[in-house]
Structure 1
Amino acid sequence: MESRLDLTFRASLAEKAERYEDMMDAMNNIATLNLWLTVKERELLSMSYQKVATAKLKSLHALTYAELEAQDEGNERHMKMTIEFRHKVENELDRLCYKVIDTIDKHLLPKGDYYRYLAEFKTEPENSRVIDHSLKAYENASNIAEKNMSPAHPVRLGVALNISIFYFEMLNSTERACQHAKQAFEDALPNLELIGEQLYNKSSSILQLLMKNLAFWNLNSNMDVDAEHTQDATGRSDASVDSNMDVGADYTSEHKGESGTSVDTTTCDGDAK
């Protein structure tokens, strides 16, 4: 087997070549060593799975639309071909999500995002089981973050952001989504200046995502957050979003018309496993 250093280098090469499945394979080999991952290794591992999963989700939604078009045209042959292709992509995404869940459960920490990806296309009764697993994973991550991190830490904020999106997209609860995002935002503000410059920039980016989602969700809610206060809190630095932190943002805006944007919390922290 290749050394840890060589696997990391191979993953970096695959990233530059945009060969994300090769990148994923290299980083998965590192994850299974049961060693404490460095920040770079966590970023590479997270990015590789996220890139592959997002691409398959986009393919899945494109095929769903193609199936509807074939149905409208009354072309049964094309519809059958499209359905078979869609099932193939569903199976690939299914294997991918359970692979990363298995790797994280056995070697790292449980993570709810990939259960949420599964819930995108699973049907009942399996969908209910997947959603239940996802909720438990998010709640577990939230409890760990709240016990060990400042309310302004980017990992804790990232977990809160992703849970709020889960409430909105998977549980269809705008109220719970707004409440969770608003609470995370308000808890973070008094602590934002205390976490250091490096973490400050990442936290500011996530706070802006929280506000972006709240602005959208508040269209159907009476909840509100002081926009001027938000600008003051996040305006110290350029809070542009690193694409490595973004999980499915393009997919969300393109295919669902929603502002829900999540981050991959494993790429946000500077000192946590």
Structure 2
Amino acid sequence: MVAGIQLRIGILTQREIPSESEGSEERAKVHVSINPFPSLIPSELSKMSTEKERETHVYLAKLAEQAERYEEMVESMKQVAKLDVELTVEERNLLSVGYKNVIGARRASWRIMSSIEQKEESKGNEHNVKLIKGYRQKVEDELSKICSDILTIIDKHLIPSSGSGEATVFYYKMKGDYFRYLAEFKTDQDRKEAAEQSLKGYEAASATANTELPSTHPIRLGLALNFSVFYYEIMNSPERACHLAKQAFDEAISELDTLSEESYKDSTLIMQLLRDNLTLWTSDLPEDGGEDNPKAEESSKSAEAQEH
């Protein structure tokens, strides 16, 4: 019988056997793989590992948000999304807030540059206009990359893993939003395609929202708000924008007494934004009741839904 057995407890435990050549009968070391959780099967161990990884990324995302390091917040939440698990409401919002801040900074930059470019063109400063165009192109490249990034995540990981109507509406609304952001600066055929994809995203979200979410639900209201902004700013259709916004507002008002305390603040905030936009857009409605105004005023910035 072999003597002198020594066990070192760990993921990889080493058993030392005496070899005859050394008189002490020490032999070659044999590596034995030992499961530190013998009651768990491999799939359960893998699940534990995934959950730990998930918790770590979520914590880092929260940390990045507090530090206002939104690019890193996005990277952490992308890792969670790629685990192909259904995200919790908190995780969903962390992902959305991260991307909203990353894209929001570039959208603001683009608007400022476009405004300066118009002023320089009106002054005939061709050299400055050329410089601005080059700088604006850099921002547009960043916008394209960010939008492509989140849209791929939504299609490959988030929608396939969503198991509720609420999540489905949330992700299709995001598709509508990020294709709309592309349509804001794209031109010609690229703009047309982005607008078409944005419309499809909003329509898919609306189809589910109208059957599975109450009219007072913050996500349904946020969808109506952003969809109406799409009609106003991208499709240059203030009449459709006002109709959609007013319908959502009126339906929510009629069910206001059913609002839970938990969602009351979010829902009433979005309802106020809907009303603000209606006030802003009403002046662009055709006075004769004819077709929509083909040139809705671009200088007025409509309110959009903020994810909570």
1:150-189 to 2 correspondences below 5 Å:
150-189=214-253
Kept in 2, the 8 Å contact 1:31–1:37? The answer is yes
The reply to whether residue 97 of structure 1 matches residue 136 of structure 2 is no
Separation in 2, partners of 1:157, 1:222: 26
Instruction: Name the SS of the counterpart of 2:214 in structure 1.
Output: coil
1:211-222 to 2 correspondences below 5 Å:
211-221=275-285
Larger radius of gyration: 2
Separation in 2, partners of 1:222, 1:64: 28
User: 80-89 or 173-182: which moved more?
Assistant: 80-89
Change (3 A) 1:185 1:66: closer
- 1:136 aligned residue (190, 193, 200): 200
Instruction: Name the SS of the counterpart of 1:262 in structure 2.
Output: coil
Q: CA deviation at 1:66?
A: 3.5
Q: CA deviation at 1:222?
A: 8.3
The reply to whether residue 257 of structure 1 matches residue 307 of structure 2 is no
Kept in 2, the 8 Å contact 1:115–1:134? The answer is yes
- 1:13 aligned residue (59, 63, 84): 63
Q: Deviations over 1:204-232 (max 9, x none)?
A: 11111111111111223489xxxxxxxxx
Q: CA deviation at 1:45?
A: 0.5
Separation in 2, partners of 1:67, 1:8: 41
Kept in 2, the 8 Å contact 1:165–1:262? The answer is yes
- The aligned amino acid for 2:221 is L
Separation in 2, partners of 1:77, 1:34: 50
Unaligned runs of 5+ in 1: 224-254, 269-273
Q: Deviations over 1:73-121 (max 9, x none)?
A: 5554443332221111101100101111111112223320001100110
Separation in 1, partners of 2:279, 2:123: 39
- 1:200 aligned residue (247, 254, 264): 264
Kept in 2, the 8 Å contact 1:14–1:20? The answer is yes
- The aligned amino acid for 1:22 is E
Separation in 1, partners of 2:240, 2:71: 36
Separation in 1, partners of 2:249, 2:299: 25
Q: CA deviation at 1:34?
A: 1.2
The reply to whether residue 126 of structure 1 matches residue 190 of structure 2 is yes
Report the number of matched residues: 234
The reply to whether residue 32 of structure 1 matches residue 82 of structure 2 is yes
Change (3 A) 1:70 1:201: closer
Change (3 A) 1:112 1:74: same
1:70-89 to 2 correspondences below 5 Å:
70-72=120-122, 74-89=124-139
Instruction: Name the SS of the counterpart of 1:3 in structure 2.
Output: helix
Q: Deviations over 1:173-222 (max 9, x none)?
A: 11111111111111112222213111222111111111111111122348
Kept in 2, the 8 Å contact 1:161–1:262? The answer is yes
- The aligned amino acid for 1:41 is E
CA RMSD of aligned residues (A): 2.1
Instruction: Name the SS of the counterpart of 1:125 in structure 2.
Output: helix
Separation in 1, partners of 2:133, 2:280: 33
Which residue of 2 is the match for residue 241 of structure 1?
Answer: none
Unaligned runs of 5+ in 2: 1-49, 159-170, 288-297
Q: CA deviation at 1:29?
A: 1.1
Instruction: Name the SS of the counterpart of 1:112 in structure 2.
Output: helix
- Identity score, percent: 42
**Normalization by structure 2: what TM-score?**
0.71
1:59-70 to 2 correspondences below 5 Å:
59-70=109-120
